[in-house]
């Protein structure tokens, strides 16, 4: 599948593949911690430099001069084998960087939407985004110390999610827990891919 149809001269690049998984959710919900817990490298940090063209109309309105800002992107890596990597990208939390999401989500296998039950509304935007674009996602409820534990069914109702979307409880600081989240996502996402590509 896939490789066979590639253009000539691409054989060497086709042997290396990087798969993207997004970690979305509100500000301070634990996205970077989650990436750091599972990544084999300290989360790498890069920045996207933006001119005002990309920023849109928001708090920079009223600023007369051309402004430039940066949006930080944190990402981690899991090497499956030589030439096959899983990349975890924490999505920028601020709404004004939505356009970055478009770029991040192209070709992404799926997304983890991290939720904090004390402020579930923070992940509504991410859920809407992935639902609209048909990107497979699951909701991982980060059980902060002292946060009241909610049953997944309660969270599902509160978020208005259908039965198909997996909801898992997790602790973003715990490696086994993050592994579970990612394995669940990969299984869920790939199920959808195969269902879509299988002839009816």
Q: Please give the residue ranges that form the binding site for another protein (CB under 8 A).
A: 1-2, 5, 7, 9-10, 12-20, 38, 44-49, 51, 68-70, 73, 75, 77-81, 83-87, 89, 103-104, 106-109, 175, 179, 182-183, 186-187, 189-190, 193-194, 196-197
What's the angle, vertex CA 14, arms to CA 131 and CA 9, rounded to 5? 130
Q: How far apart are the C-alpha atoms of 74 and 36, rounded to whole Å?
A: 9
Alpha helix positions (H), 18-83: 31-38, 52-55
The three-class DSSP label of residue 188 is helix
Minimum distance from residue 95 beta carbon to another protein (Å): 18
Closer to another protein by Cβ: residue 169 or 189: 189
Minimum distance from residue 166 beta carbon to another protein (Å): 15
β-pairing, 167-170 vs 68-81, is: unpaired
Closer to another protein by Cβ: residue 87 or 155: 87
Q: Is 179 exposed, middle or buried (0-12, 13-18, 19+ CB in 10 A)?
A: middle
Minimum distance from residue 151 beta carbon to another protein (Å): 26
Are residues 188 and 138 in contact, defined by beta-carbon separation less than 8 angstroms? yes
Closer to another protein by Cβ: residue 14 or 158: 14
Contact residues for 127 (Cβ-Cβ < 8 A; gap 6+): 113, 137, 139, 159, 161
Minimum distance from residue 114 beta carbon to another protein (Å): 18
Closer to another protein by Cβ: residue 106 or 158: 106
The helices-and-strands tally (H runs, E runs) of the chain is: 7, 7
Closer to another protein by Cβ: residue 9 or 162: 9
Minimum distance from residue 112 beta carbon to another protein (Å): 13
């Amino acid at each position: 599948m896939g490789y066979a149809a590639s253009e000539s001269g691409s054989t060497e690049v086709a042997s290396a593949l990087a798969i993207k998984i997004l970690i979305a959710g509100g500000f301070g919900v634990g996205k970077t911690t989650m990436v750091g817990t599972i990544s084999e490298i300290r989360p790498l940090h890069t920045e996207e430099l933006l001119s005002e063209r990309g920023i849109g109309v928001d708090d920079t309105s009223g600023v007369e001069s051309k402004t430039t800002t940066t949006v930080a992107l944190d990402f981690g890596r899991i090497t499956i084998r030589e030439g096959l990597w899983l990349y975890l990208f924490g999505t920028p939390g601020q709404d004004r960087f939505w356009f970055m999401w478009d770029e991040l989500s192209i070709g992404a296998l799926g997304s983890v939407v991290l939720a904090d039950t004390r402020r579930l509304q923070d992940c509504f935007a991410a859920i809407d985004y992935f639902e609209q674009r048909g990107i497979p996602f699951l909701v991982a409820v980060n059980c902060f110390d002292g946060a009241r534990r909610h049953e997944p069914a309660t969270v599902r109702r509160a978020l208005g999610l259908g039965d198909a979307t997996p909801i898992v409880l997790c602790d973003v600081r715990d490696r086994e827990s993050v592994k579970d989240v990612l394995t669940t996502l990969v299984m869920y996402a790939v199920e959808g891919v195969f269902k879509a590509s299988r002839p009816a």
